Amino acid sequence: MQTENESVEYRCPDGFLMPAHLIRPRSPGQFPALILVHEAFGLNDEMKRIAGEIAAGGYVLVIPDLFARGNWLGCIRRLVTDLSRGDGRASSDLLAARTWLREQHFVAPERIGVLGLCIGGGFAMLLAKTGLFRAAANFYGPAPESLDGTCPVMASFGAKDRIMTPHAAGIAAELGRLGVPCDLKVYPNVGHGFMNRPPNRLLGLASRYSPVRAGYDRDAAADAMMRLKEFLSIRL
């Protein structure tokens, strides 16, 4: 399905105009929608590429630029704090994206999900608990201990990631206890960030030798994308 890209803005609860990247089908009609919460490196070309591949399947995707409120270091510190607290301005900014999506004529307003990569996966898990989303996908992000009220979840981790992958067992156990549908897979021989290439070679090399063992893996990425598309076709 052909898609089109657009830079958009939406208003947050405090009045801030949040810039975002929108990708949607060119065909007329209403489509299910997803908020994509970007990784720690921000709203980059790889986030847009991943969103574009999903959108081609008949979905609207919006990627809020959560680093638009200041410099990278200040924003990432705030995101980490908000994530550890389980609430905060970042969550409000993302929920405002949902409100904006529901107002668009090309969105099916009751069919909205959320997905995130890296730190964005953690926010996807937080939003999944609000009761406002039909489905959530977490790519190698953390999760709160309690997942009461969570919508169906797809989660993907790399076995070599020593920081985030320990969350996988907790997610599986908690959602199993709650009876929430969950498609969770830990990919052997890959680490963090296997869905996308790093923004530059230096960061890529540094990440490979960090505890998360980050690095793009074509085969794992292809399998995870196939699982995601199947998950969305059923749950969203």
pLDDT digits (tens, 9 = 90+) for 172-206: 999 999 999 999 999 999 999 999 987 656 555 54
Mean pLDDT across 106-132: 98
Mean pLDDT across 38-47: 94
Helix count and strand count (H, E) for the chain: 7, 8
Domains and CATH numbers, the chain: 3-235 (3.40.50.1820)
Say which residue, 163 or 110, is predicted with more confidence: 110
Contact 136, 150 (CB under 8 A): yes
Mean pLDDT across 95-115: 99
Return mean pLDDT, the chain. 94
Q: Which percentage of the chain shows pLDDT scores above 90?
A: 83
pLDDT score of 87 = 83
* CA proximity to 134, closest of 158, 120, 150, 116: 150
pLDDT per residue over 132-144, tens digit each? 999 999 999 999 9
Say which residue, 94 or 206, is predicted with more confidence: 94
Q: Which percentage of the chain shows pLDDT scores above 70?
A: 95
pLDDT score of 183 = 98
Transcribe 160-188 into DSSP letters: T-TTTTHHHHHHHHHHHHHT--EEEEEET
Residue 170 has pLDDT above 90, yes or no: yes
pLDDT score of 72 = 82
Helix axes 89-102, 119-128, angle to 10 degrees: 70
Residue 161 has pLDDT above 90, yes or no: yes
Mean pLDDT across 109-128: 98
